[in-house]
Structure 1
Amino acid sequence: MSIPRLYLDQPLAAGAAVPTSPGQAHYLGSVMRRAPGDAVLVFNGRDGEWEARIEAIRKDRCTLLPERQTRPQATVADTRLLVAALKRDAMEWVVEKATELGIGTIQPVFTRRSVADRVNTARLAAIAQEAAEQCERLDLPRIGAPQPLPALLDSWDGVPLLVGAERGDRPPLARIAQGLHAPWAWLVGPEGGFDRLELDDLARRAFVSTAGLGPRILRAETAAVAGLALLQALAGDGSD
């Protein structure tokens, strides 16, 4: 029987009981059919992963008792995804997959051709949490508040920013990623691509490199995940 795994935004220490949220209590009791004494894995992004036991559970209330640390907290590389606001389903899928790929920050941006004019960051954070629980991450990605692309670029901290180009003669991302190490960021535009003013603005930034992902035109969500997978393999924790 698999052990449920939950994120708890609370300190974790042996013998210090912690409550779950009502939703987590319902999940453990009504969905997973767990009872007092059953094991649960918990993590909080700070104290590593712990094996805990259900101390008490009823309806929407549950108390867990951490017993031993199963994995220490690992250092998280500064890897970032900047993605133009997409339609809800596509955006949620990107957040789920970026979380599974271990990306540290997911930053929605508004561009001139963005297909969405709002982003439900609370919903995206919930999706990221569920994905982190499933893929055995020890932390959650940070979901940034949406920003217009020019404002984000103006306040950028100088971390190398690789930009996916859907057209034009650009060096392959795999070539640019050779020798690259975190921190880095990957920027993907909307379905219609960046407009000329945005491309000109990006080209003026010293920290920006434009890269290609092959001969085919990819959907924005495909480009986001394909680029992240490649970067993690060559310049992220998949290269260790």
Structure 2
Amino acid sequence: MTTYDFSAQRLFVRDDLAMGVEIAPSSEASNYLLNVLRMREGAAIHLFNGRDGEYRATLFDVSRRSAKLRVAERLRAQTGLADLDYCFAPLKQARLDYMAQKAVEMGAGRLVPVITRRTQARRLNAARLQANVIEAAEQCGVLAVPEIAPAVELDDFLARLPAERLLVFCDERAACANPFDALAGRPAQAGVSVLIGPEGGFDDAERAALMRLPNVAPISLGPRVLRADTAAVAALAIVQAAFGDWRAQGAADV
């Protein structure tokens, strides 16, 4: 198989991918290829759709406003989504964009908006959230595009959470200062959900409900007060190091 080129441009498509297939990109994708990337006849790009792996393709039948793509060899086999849910209280739009992009880069398999009492933004632009997820996947080599769940109230989220699933939530009152000590020995075989609260954190009633769960791990993120979007990156990094694909190959649980 051809050596993978990590510097290559990548494009997410919704079409089925297989060697020899010809694709007519959308007008938006064509504009991106021709006017943003300034690609011309015969230029190569990597395509993925979250189902069929990643393929090399070349542009042909190029005009001023459109082009077609001819799919060549497969470069990478499809990978599955990690059983790692990133659950977050929505923020105002610019910071939510950043948070969604970083969650994808950090290997989350599903994004779950959770509405808490102190949530800043209760209305989500689902199309914009999806666009940020896809853009992050294109830029950082992700093959399995994370799912986006419908927004859910915290009470409903907790009621639906399987008892055996590990819930990790950032808690400024966590008794254990070292997050890795707090996670040591926790069962994660049934998957992990990381819950990030809003600015100002969870209120007392919400925190009490979280602490009553059978498989919950409150963790500290250190002595500094972090913004919610920064806390997301820190928490996901800790979970990936403790349970996920940052560990030795073959040892991941999520």
> Could you tell me the TM-score, scaled by structure 1's length?
0.93
Tell me what 2:170 maps to: 164
Tell me what 2:79 maps to: 74
AA aligned to 1:169 is A
Q: 1:218 Cα shift?
A: 1.5
TM superposition outliers: structure 1 runs of 4+ over 4 Å: 179-182
Tell me what 1:234 maps to: 242
Is it true that 1:26 corresponds to 2:31 in the alignment?
A: yes
AA aligned to 1:84 is A
Matches within 5 A, 1:37-186: 37-158=42-163, 159-170=165-176, 172-178=178-184, 181=188, 183-186=191-194
| 1:98 match: secondary structure | helix
**Which range moves more in the overlay, 181-190 or 191-200?**
181-190
AA aligned to 2:233 is V
Within 1, Cα distance between the matches of 2:241 and 2:224? 21
Q: 1:230 Cα shift?
A: 1.5
Residues 105-148 of structure 1, C-alpha deviations (whole Å, 9 max, x = no match): 11111100111121112101101101110101112111221111
**Alignment gaps of 5+ in structure 2:** 250-254
Contact 1:113 1:193 in 2 (8 A): yes
Structure 1 residues 59, 143: CA separation in 2 closer, same or farther (over 3 Å shift)? farther
| 1:12 match: secondary structure | coil
Is it true that 1:209 corresponds to 2:214 in the alignment?
A: no
AA aligned to 2:181 is R
CA RMSD of aligned residues (A): 1.8
Q: 1:168 Cα shift?
A: 4.5
* Identical-residue share of aligned pairs (%): 38
Within 2, Cα distance between the matches of 1:21 and 1:166? 46
Contact 1:41 1:51 in 2 (8 A): yes
Contact 1:161 1:184 in 2 (8 A): yes
AA aligned to 1:212 is S
**Alignment gaps of 5+ in structure 1:** none
How many residues are paired up?
240
Within 1, Cα distance between the matches of 2:142 and 2:205? 39
Within 1, Cα distance between the matches of 2:81 and 2:184? 21
Contact 1:25 1:58 in 2 (8 A): no
Contact 1:171 1:210 in 2 (8 A): no
**Which range moves more in the overlay, 56-65 or 8-17?**
56-65
| 1:34 match: secondary structure | coil
Q: 1:229 Cα shift?
A: 1.1
Within 2, Cα distance between the matches of 1:60 and 1:155? 48
Tell me what 1:10 maps to: 15
AA aligned to 1:194 is F
Residues 14-49 of structure 1, C-alpha deviations (whole Å, 9 max, x = no match): 001122221110011111111221111001111111
Contact 2:81 2:145 in 1 (8 A): no
Residues 42-100 of structure 1, C-alpha deviations (whole Å, 9 max, x = no match): 01111111001112233443321111001111233211111111111111111011111
